[in-house]
Amino acid sequence: MTATEHASVDFEALQRLVGQVITDIGGAVTAPLALLGDRLGLFTELASGGPATPTALAKRTGLVERYVREWLLAMAASGYVTYEGGEPGAADPDSAGSGRYRLSPEQADAFTNPASPGYVIGAFQNLTAGTRMLDRLTEAFRTGEGFGWHEHHEDMFVGTERFFRPGYLAHLTGEWIPALTGVADRLAAGALVADVGCGLGASTVIMASAYPASTFVGVDYHRPSIDMACGRAAEAGVADRVSFRVAGAADLATSAEGRYQLITFFDCLHDMPDPLGALRAARAAVAEDGRVMLVEPMSWDRVSDALNPLGRLLAGASLFICLPSGLSAPPAAGLGNQAGPRRTQELAVEAGFSDARVATATDFNLVYELTP
């Protein structure tokens, strides 16, 4: 930088930028530490056992006090744990070792309740797993190649289920399916459903639990996920009407019972190297009076609309997870999770659907109804 260029720097703006970086880095280091608290049972013990000093919490969890003390301080500074103040009678009541910490009802819900729509632990697990691929991503920028979903750390698969399941519990059967033309009534009466890219089966199991008269087939190319999905269905008591098989999205075929009345894609189409092929396979396998439900992360057609906190999170996640997956095999479409509604709808029409509309939305998802 020349002296003239240096003189033109707005130092107040520079200070604001540096302050933002400090805030961002603080959040970045907090994410894996929050996941650590989940793994070690620190959040759940605070929620169930009540307020504690670092010494008491370490004793209750069987961990080392010095590490627990530092973790509590980091979580309290982030607003993830509440600092209550000093233990009564302590010589130095406001010291790091003497203070008591607790979880507010909201913190307990966010960090310990998997059924809550505000449950966030899956996000920490999913995105921390994604950053393990930084070296691969660095090389991908140079080569243009990707890396497959199956190549990620196992935290990616479990974290993804934990990340998306709360939203599915909150919206899937109560809002999303009822927003599709006539689909809720068909499922209540008994229909054949395929869940493409089902992962660990959260979406499949939720639908099967809500519509006991229908039959569900979960499809995913990742064998370990399918194995876990079978276990999830058995635990939920829906294995009599749910089956899972290892197959790619383009391998979807009509079943022995005929074409599917509903085919679903939950937060997965944008990850596929051949999303057009997947939609064409769905068009061939869906009944003429059936529907395809496509649930995708929130995205925007204009860059200016995406410049917001959610857009930042999604674009970053796309770089670590979605885009490399979409570039990992021919034809390497590389949609990423920010394809936007216009491009998504164009793909559906190109695949042979007569109509593609946004049926409903949440703050985090767009739900498309595709009509044969």
pLDDT value at residue 258 = 72
Residue 251's pLDDT is: 86
Write the CB contacts of 209 (distance below 8 Å, at least 6 apart in sequence). 236, 238
Q: Mean per-residue pLDDT for 27-40?
A: 97
Residue 1: the pLDDT is 57
If you average pLDDT over residues 43-66, what whole number do you get? 97
Q: From residue 355, how far is each of 204, 341, 370 by CA, in Å?
A: 25, 13, 6
For the segment 308-320, the average pLDDT, to the nearest whole number, is 97
**pLDDT for 8:** 87
Within its chain, how far is the Cα of 189 from the centroid?
A: 31
Q: How far apart are the first and last CA of the chain?
A: 59
pLDDT bucket at 175, cuts 50 / 70 / 90: very high
Q: What is the reported pLDDT for 25?
A: 95
Q: Is the pLDDT of residue 90 over 70?
A: no
- The pLDDT > 90 percentage for the chain reads 91
Check pLDDT > 60 for residue 111: yes
User: What number is the average pLDDT over the span 232-241?
Assistant: 98
pLDDT digits (tens, 9 = 90+) for 193-229: 999 999 999 999 999 999 999 999 999 999 999 999 9
Residues sharing a CB contact under 8 Å with residue 135, sequence separation 6 or more, in sequence order: none
Asked whether residue 84 carries a pLDDT value surpassing 70, the answer given is yes
Residue 94, pLDDT > 90, answer no
Q: Quick one: pLDDT at residue 3?
A: 56
Chain mean pLDDT for the chain: 95
Structure tokens of 262? 């509903």
Summarize pLDDT for 319-371 with one digit per residue, the tens. 999 999 999 999 999 999 999 999 999 999 999 999 999 999 999 999 999 99
- 275-304, pLDDT tens digit by residue? 999 999 999 999 999 999 999 999 999 999
Q: What is the pLDDT of residue 253?
A: 74
Could you tell me the pLDDT band of residue 256, with boundaries at 50, 70 and 90? low
pLDDT band at 257 (very low <50, low <70, confident <90, very high): low
- Residue 188 clears pLDDT 70, i.e. is over it: yes
Q: How far apart are CA 362 and CA 284, in angstroms?
A: 29
- What percentage of the chain exceeds 70 in pLDDT? 94
Give the pLDDT score at 107: 98
Q: What is the pLDDT of residue 252?
A: 85
107-126 mean pLDDT: 97
More confident residue, 12 or 252: 12
**What domains does the chain contain, in order, with CATH numbers?**
3-111 (1.10.10.10), 164-302+330-371 (3.40.50.150)
pLDDT (tens digit per residue) in 134-155: 999 999 999 999 999 999 999 9
Determine whether 88 is exposed, middle or buried from the number of CB atoms within 10 Å of its CB (0-12, 13-18, 19+). exposed
Res. 92 pLDDT band, cuts 50 70 90: low
